[in-house]
């Protein structure tokens, strides 16, 4: 319906790029901004370069989840962002809420919107309603080159992304786009934009050396999140300002 989290996000995305939320975010003593917290969940703003969860090895133990658990020991992961991606992440407080939120993600009741800057001039989707194009290309792990992903029509998992051109910058020959992933495959947005011939600027896995050199980080930010509160049933919507200019 029109009032679903995804429709609210897509309508907002069609009007304007993500904007800041004023003084809404507060800085915790964790190197992470806590955007919202109550007894059931946390909404956090992950910086680029920080793991979402710990990896293997002593040098990969610093992560958003471990930092947050220092202050909120009951905080549990329900989804992830790539280390290079910045923006909004949701954590559950306690295993019961984790199950509820995990089901909401599985049922596609949690909507996320991203902004990215891609290499080259990406033309708006021709004839698409509201200017929203659709990328419908199946993705699978590229086993010999893990953790990379590839498009594979036969063995890939169904993967769907909605995208909209926001602006073009002639000086850097880059295009800013809004992205709404319908599925949640690893590296989905990065692989789908590469498949269009316009990889995300600063992408050390999927962009050319020239496109990598245009930024010191991956220019991909999770800027909006909408869901129904798992306990109260109230609609929740959050935004995070995009931290890169282009």
- Of 240, 233, 230, 231, which Cα lies nearest the Cα of 103? 230
Contact 110, 236 (CB under 8 A): no
Checking DSSP bridges between strand 86-93 and strand 41-46, what pairing results, if any? Answer: antiparallel
Measure Cα distances from 132 to 96, 127, 161, 190 in Å.
36, 9, 10, 18
Residue where the block lists tokens 């880059």: 174
Which residue(s) pair with 191 in the sheet? none
Residue where the block lists tokens 């999770």: 222
Catalytic positions, written as ranges: 82
């Amino acid at each position: 319906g029109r009032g679903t989290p995804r429709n609210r996000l897509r309508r907002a995305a069609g009007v304007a790029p993500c904007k800041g939320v004023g003084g809404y975010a507060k800085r915790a003593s964790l190197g992470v901004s806590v955007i919202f917290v109550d007894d059931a969940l946390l909404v956090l703003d992950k910086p680029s370069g920080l793991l979402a969860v710990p990896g293997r090895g002593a040098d990969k133990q610093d992560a958003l989840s471990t930092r947050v658990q220092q202050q909120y020991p009951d905080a549990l992961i329900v989804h992830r962002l790539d280390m290079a991606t910045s923006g909004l992440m949701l954590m559950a407080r306690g295993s019961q809420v984790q199950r509820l939120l995990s089901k909401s993600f599985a049922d596609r009741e949690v909507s996320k919107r991203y902004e990215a800057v891609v290499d080259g001039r990406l033309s708006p989707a021709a004839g698409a309603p509201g200017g929203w194009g659709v990328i419908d290309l199946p993705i699978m792990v590229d086993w010999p080159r893990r953790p990379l992903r590839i498009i594979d029509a036969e063995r890939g998992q169904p993967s769907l992304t909605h995208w909209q051109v926001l602006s073009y910058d002639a000086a850097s020959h880059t295009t800013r786009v809004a992205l709404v992933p319908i599925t949640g495959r690893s590296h989905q947005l990065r692989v789908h934009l590469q498949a269009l011939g316009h990889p995300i600027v600063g992408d050390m896995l999927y962009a050319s050396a020239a496109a990598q050199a245009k930024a010191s980080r991956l220019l991909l930010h999770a800027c909006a999140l909408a869901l129904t509160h798992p306990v109260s049933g109230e609609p929740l919507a959050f935004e995070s300002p995009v931290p890169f200019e282009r």
